[in-house]
Structure 1
């Protein structure tokens, strides 16, 4: 299976950013309890689209992924998803926003330190249970993507919690947590720009 590993980098026109204290949004997203969400990562759509040859990515702008996070509270149940939760409707404890031509605003909460990242093409076995942060055309082995989501969304990437810069290796609640980003097959087509959730074994 061909994948692109997401690896730390420091120069060049880079497609991926862990953390950061600003985002190209008109208003900082909150969860249903009114808590400001944490910016997990950002994808530069133009650069990523060229590097990955993914026509389902927007031609330009930024794809921001936010999540509920509280270092002192239990929140893992809020950021996981299964078929039962989908039947009830997904609550906005995570948020995926595509932004184009919007001036960035600062996060109202403490942020994950910015870490630039690049893509490195490689392969893994089709049945390999990988904990890499990676981009792929289809979900790797072990990823349990609800069938209902595959109707409107394409798999884009897997994020391993320990890859976030210190002290946010628990950004997905567990340091060995794995999160998945799916993007809308038609950005701006009436549904959310994407879907991000964490899988619990």
Structure 2
């Protein structure tokens, strides 16, 4: 069953599962750039020990999963990070407009032009979600959960079959849950980011992160 995620302020260098804060990229890994040469911003820092326990993954112990995305306060970028099942959209994202990295614990770093104040994951209620497919117009009369959650299955995906059969859903992050000054982190405050991890991960394809907006 999926579990709701809420947040509380935490130190930017904290080793807990969190939004934002500093990264722990080792010095031998370059700070990720998108195809336009722009530095990505860190949005998630997730210890692999936490992911293995919470989601029954088998990632290397004592590592981190760092998730980055394109972010720009001046230029439109929503189309660069959005995926609704179109192969060209997915290829665009995989070129580096978002990035999922698995790495050993390195130095405290931030080479982005921005730093999101760190927010620790807090676990709330287990969620019995309505998985009726979104038809683009009507959501039916049942309550739909639109917030952040971890595990089981994503909520409110606009297309259930995204062609991600080799990937396992990990978590979703609601843009409106970010600190106020970064609620446009996914371009629109009501956008949701989805993290899927490769079931047969390798260093070139750990996972995929994308957004949708309903």
The TM-score bracket by the shorter chain reads 0.7 to 0.9
* Residues 87, 157 of structure 1: alpha-carbon distance in 2 compared, 3 angstrom cutoff: closer
The reply on whether 1:22 has 2:23 as its aligned counterpart is yes
Give aligned pairs, total: 196
**What's 1:197 paired with?**
210
| Mapping 1:30-179, distance limit 5 Å | 30-50=33-53, 52-81=54-83, 82-85=85-88, 90-127=94-131, 128-144=143-159, 146-150=161-165, 152-179=166-193
Cα distance change on mapping 1:14 and 1:28 into 2, 3 Å: closer
Distance in 2 (alpha carbons) for counterparts of 1:42 and 1:146: 27
When normalised by structure 2's length, the TM-score is 0.80
Q: 1:41 to 1:200 in 2, by over 3 A?
A: same
Residues 23, 45 of structure 2: 8 Å contact kept? no
- Can you list the C-alpha shifts for 1:111-140, whole angstroms capped at 9, x where unaligned? 111112222341223335321110022223
- Compute the RMSD of aligned alpha carbons: 2.4
Q: What SS is found at the alignment partner of 2:164?
A: helix
Give distance in 2, aligned partners of 1:15 and 1:174. Answer: 27
* TM-score relative to the length of structure 1: 0.85
| Structure 1 unpaired stretches of 5+ | none
Contact 1:23-1:105 within 8 A present in 2 as well? yes
Q: Equivalents in 2 of 1:159, 1:49: separation in Å? A: 19
CA–CA distance in 2 between the matches of 1:14 and 1:103?
12
Closer/same/farther in 2, CA of residues 129 and 143 from structure 1, 3 Å limit = farther
Structure 2 Cα separation of the partners of residues 78 and 49 of structure 1: 30
* Higher mean C-alpha deviation, range 118-127 or range 157-166: 118-127
- The corresponding residue for 2:139 is none
User: 1:191: Cα distance to partner?
Assistant: 4.0
Q: Is the 8 A contact 2:129 2:145 kept in 1?
A: no
Decide whether aligned partners of structure 1 residues 47 and 195 sit closer, same or farther in structure 2, where only a CA change above 3 A counts: same
Aligned counterparts of 1:143 and 1:56: Cα–Cα separation in 2: 29
Q: Quote the Cα distance in structure 2 between the aligned partners of 1:93 and 1:73.
A: 14
